[in-house]
Amino acid sequence: MTILALDWALVIEKLIMIAIIVFASLGIALYTTFAERKVAAILQDRPGPSRAGPFGLLQPLADGLKLIMKEEIIPNAANKWLFILGPGLAMTASLMTCAVIPWGSAIDIFGRHVELQIADVNIGILYVFAVVSMGVYGIMIGGWASNNKFSLMSALRAASQAISYELAMGLALIALLMTTGSLSLKTIVEQQVQGSWWNIVYQPLGFLIFFITAMAECNRTPFDLPEAENELNFGYHQEYSSMKLGFYLFAEYINMIMSSAIMASMYFGGYDLPFFNEASVAPNIAAMIGVGTLLIKIVLFIFLFMWIRWTIPRFRYDQLMGLGWKTLIPLALFNMLLTGAVILAKL
């Protein structure tokens, strides 16, 4: 009876944590759209959203209400069930990534020791790769099911772009795994917390490759070729409206948030705050400071994503593929060989 009670308590604990992280991610994604428009306005010397609520803070709620109130349209020639499945799959895959991210150290609540991570699986990075690959299927299915030639071309672009840049991303991660010796994100973060340096010191080239490929995986400018409106009429979600379109747009922002969290965890110490002595404060307070530290790192990465979007023009498609195959993959292979040589030299 005690074992069953403990199992149910653990299940309830994990369900509560899933709900908190999912709704927090949706809330952050909602206001990331507002931040995107404000950053664009600053870089382009204009005010940006300023009418809906004080300082325009209610603009994301107005945009969300507008999407909900719009008419749901499914083209007659579209494959209805796949047309609905596409945005749902993209949204679900983007949210599933949060399961293995360590958001902070453990806290004590009502006598229970609660880890601020939904699942500490020993193949966490492989799980992230698997989920990211599923998100690409959401774009491909939506583009094909629309029965629109521009949407289909966009889906083909998304597939080829994902294959090209996931290879470079995987090779960059192999060098990091050679350094850390673990696939668990929790273990990688703890190694940085207990060590003297973050992994960015050991893997600067690997981080640069990972960051560039993460922008390509998130379809962020200058890698947003699957939704290039100047040549594909809005791309894979051209035929979508209302919340189906909203799911695609939200999935992009949630992917950006999760990519930022993964990069912060793997290369920048995760919830580690430099020069902070955790023993000097209560454990729960130290854990909350760690969560805040990780969120600040995520916000800085998101700002970098936005800054690049509104600064660098979109690539041509041949430039996109050339960068992936002719530059990033050779650099990732060189980084992997260099890391192996350094490790052998230390043995």
End-to-end C-alpha distance for the chain, whole angstroms: 51
pLDDT band at 230 (very low <50, low <70, confident <90, very high): low
- pLDDT > 70: what percent of the chain? 97
* Weakest mean pLDDT among 3-17, 27-41, 260-274: 3-17
Whether 285 shows a pLDDT value over 90: the answer reads no
pLDDT band at 335 (very low <50, low <70, confident <90, very high): very high
Rounded-to-integer distance, Cα 278 and Cα 287, Å? 9
164: its two tokens: 């090209």
Task: For residues 22-27, give the mean pLDDT.
Answer: 85
The helix-helix angle for 2-43 and 242-267 (nearest 10°) equals: 100
pLDDT band at 262 (very low <50, low <70, confident <90, very high): very high
Amino acid at 105: S
257: its two tokens: 């948030």
Whether 190 shows a pLDDT value over 70: the answer reads yes
Task: For residues 152-174, give the mean pLDDT.
Answer: 87
340: its two tokens: 């192996």
Whether 2 shows a pLDDT value over 70: the answer reads no
Whether 224 shows a pLDDT value over 70: the answer reads yes
Task: For residues 273-283, give the mean pLDDT.
Answer: 78
What does the pLDDT read at residue 14? 81
What does the pLDDT read at residue 194? 86
Task: For residues 28-37, give the mean pLDDT.
Answer: 88
What does the pLDDT read at residue 75? 86
What does the pLDDT read at residue 229? 66
Rounded-to-integer distance, Cα 243 and Cα 79, Å? 18
What does the pLDDT read at residue 16? 85
Task: For residues 304-309, give the mean pLDDT.
Answer: 90
Inter-residue contact 141 to 86 (CB < 8 Å)? yes
Task: For residues 80-105, give the mean pLDDT.
Answer: 88
DSSP state of 195: S
